[in-house]
Amino acid sequence: MNEFHLRKFLKTWMLPISMIGGIIFHDTIGYLEFLTPYLIFLMLTITYTRVRTSDFRITQFQWSLLAVQMLGCWIVYSILFPLNRHVATAAFICIFMPTATAAPVITGMLGGSVTKLATYSLLSNITVALTAPAFLSIVNDSGRNIPFTESFFTICSQIVPLLIMPLVVAIIMRHSLPRLHNAIANHQSISFWLWAVALFIVMGRAVSFMIKQPLGELPAMTGMAIASLAVCCLQFFIGRKVGARLGDRISGAQGLGQKNTILGIWMALTYLDPIVSIGPAAYIVWQNTINSYQLYRKSKYKQ
């Protein structure tokens, strides 16, 4: 296998390789956990070098996806609540958690609009930051009582550095360091390899968390994993349909389907019964399996 075919093979299968690697080395993944925010920051900075600030416009595309996200979490919660409260809450979190900060990376690789997805990612994350304290207090069954200001600023402290600052850095580079900006903009594939490393770390963290749960929780964990799979497939499907009607089915699918699972796990551990975090933890596997398949199909189509 020559260098060209090796690179092509790795780009097609890197996401499942990262997930399997995270599972195998989950015991030692804690030593790399501190790298995650830096990797996401770098990925987004590279991605945003392709975007002009004048392109950030909130249109019917973004409002439609946001409506599905905000209404969908309550509809699914209401349907599942009579069956099992933990499963209903896990499904709620899997829909309510915002679009992944790295979603524009995969969107660009699949041929979607980075600008549309980046705009929706901003809108989605800010909306979740504003509504999470009220929404989570309604579904909370852990007996915890966290003040609004504390929860608001804790969520914002995760969103602002990882989501907004890379955009600021990209804008500054565009005006102050145009040569460096253009060089980065023309090498977008770097962000994919950074994402693979981040996925390796996050997958290891999720597996470690699941293993620590007692065996008595296995039925509930299984139910939450199945619910997260169902809502993951449903969100990719609905996002694709909504996006197709509004001119970009790839961005629509990624906007609704690819979630900020790290933030979702944190919200579950902080506000709810910790076992609920199994939902967003399992979602990591489902969304990256779907994206791996889409990247494989994209590669075969190019061939």
Average confidence (pLDDT) per 10 residues, the chain, 303 residues: 62 75 82 79 78 74 93 94 91 91 76 81 80 79 62 66 78 86 79 80 77 76 92 94 88 89 76 83 86 75 61
Full set of structural domains in the chain with CATH = 13-302 (1.20.1530.20)
* CA nearest neighbour of 167 among 295, 48, 12: 48
- Cα–Cα separations (whole angstroms), residue 55 to 62, 119, 295: 13, 9, 26
Distance CA 3, CA 298 (A): 20
Distance CA 156, CA 129 (A): 6
* CA nearest neighbour of 231 among 43, 89, 109: 89
- Cα–Cα separations (whole angstroms), residue 148 to 71, 102, 129, 228, 271: 22, 27, 11, 27, 12
Residue 170, H or E segment: helix 165-176
Distance CA 135, CA 139 (A): 7
End-to-end CA distance of the chain: 17
Q: How many CB atoms lie within 10 A of CB 211?
A: 9
Asked whether 75 and 258 are in contact (CB, 8 A), the reply is: no
> pTM for the complete prediction?
0.76
Name the residue with tokens 């964990």.
221
Distance CA 140, CA 204 (A): 27
* CA nearest neighbour of 271 among 157, 142, 126: 142
Angle, vertex CA 259, rays to CA 258 and CA 263, nearest 5: 160
* CA nearest neighbour of 126 among 284, 279, 260: 260
In whole angstroms, what separates CA 209 from the centre of its chain?
Answer: 18
Distance CA 72, CA 76 (A): 6
